[in-house]
Amino acid sequence: MKRKTAFLIAILLSLVVLASIWYGQNHGLLPAAVGKEAVLYDKLFGTLIGIAFGLFLIVQGVLVYSLIKFRRKPGDRTDALPMHENLSLELVWTAVPTVLVMWVAIYSFDVYTEMRGSGALMMAHQHHPSPVLVADASGETAPLLPPSQPVSAEPLALEVQAMQFAWIFNYPGDIASAELHVPAGQRIRLNFAAVDVLHAFWVPELRLKQDTIPGTPTHLEFTPEKVGEYAVVCAELCGSYHGGMRATMVVQTPQDYQAWLTEQQLAAGEQPMVASRLGPSLERAQVQELQSQFMAHQAASVGS
């Protein structure tokens, strides 16, 4: 009888493990991953969800079994038998969670280290200069790559200003846009400057988030891989219109990105963008003036 019970428990635990592995890979709780860094995050998230799902099945299974097996019999008015400590059971439910927590901690730190080593994660108080392909509004950058030339291994650096309540993305040739256009397959470095209060740059499909802090430069690196349009959200409460501080990240093929950049350079020559480069310590009146100019420029662009 004991052998039969042990065999049945082994089968049930095997089914729980298989169900946990399947659900960890098919939970559908995250939006589509569009960057290399998102793959690392998704594997970790799927592992944690699988473990949690397996524990849920075990706990609920034991609960349902106990409700059926040890329910009060009709007409039975006696008290249940008293139970004391069970050393074996206590060792199991102490050792298993301990091992799981330690393993998850090591795995999580390994993912964090790998993402941090790639430049995707950075702490706001740490600033380690690294060689990048600076693409700012001064126009003093390397010439644009023709479509036939391979993409540079150096990150493409863009300047990003956050203000109440808009994102401004700066490109070569005095170009400023309310949309973030990036080429697929190219490592991107965003250099942030907040001109008023705290903001946070967040694209859910990248699984990355970075605070923008007034007076403290921060940056974020990522490698987009899937062409498409994705929402840029401010994830830090920044004022009364915080919910409307949204933008769009457009991931394009390298050829389409170069065509868009050339088009914007031609347009900028005809109608210069005054708010192309913002400093982190502007006066409130200057910020409001730049906001008005920027919104007017966007309205004119949409109208044309």
Assess whether pLDDT exceeds 60 at residue 304.
no
Say if residue 277's pLDDT is above 50: no
pLDDT, tens digit, 9 for 90 and up, residues 19-38:
999 999 999 899 989 988 89
Average of pLDDT values for 70-81?
A: 83
pLDDT interval class at 81 (50, 70, 90):
confident
* Residue 270 predicted with pLDDT over 70: no
pLDDT computed for residue 117 by the predictor: 59
Minimum mean pLDDT range among 102-116, 128-142, 195-209, 288-302: 128-142
pLDDT classification of 63: cutoffs 50, 70, 90: very high
Residue 64 has pLDDT above 80, yes or no: yes
Residue the block writes with tokens 């795995």? 107
Residue 123 has pLDDT above 90, yes or no: no
Alpha carbon 10 to its chain centroid, in Å, reads 39
Q: CA 190, 193, 195, 201: dihedral to nearest 10 degrees?
A: 50
pTM for the model: 0.69
Question: What is the average pLDDT across 46-67?
Answer: 94
Helix, strand, or coil (residue 304) = coil
Least confident of 56-60, 83-87, 195-199, 201-205: 83-87
pLDDT value, residue 155: 85
Q: What is residue 191's three-state secondary structure?
A: strand
Q: What is the mean pLDDT of residues 150-160?
A: 75
180 three-class SS: strand
Q: Do 35 and 204 meet the contact criterion of CB atoms below 8 Å apart?
A: no
pLDDT at residue number 282: 45
Element containing residue 190 per DSSP (H, E): strand 188-194
Cα dihedral 214, 162, 276, 137, rounded to 10, equals: 70
And the tokens for 162?
């956050």
Range in 7-16, 80-89, 188-197 with the lowest mean pLDDT: 80-89
Q: Is 175 helix (H, G, I), strand (E, B) or coil?
A: strand
> Once rounded to an integer, what is the mean pLDDT over residues 190-201?
93
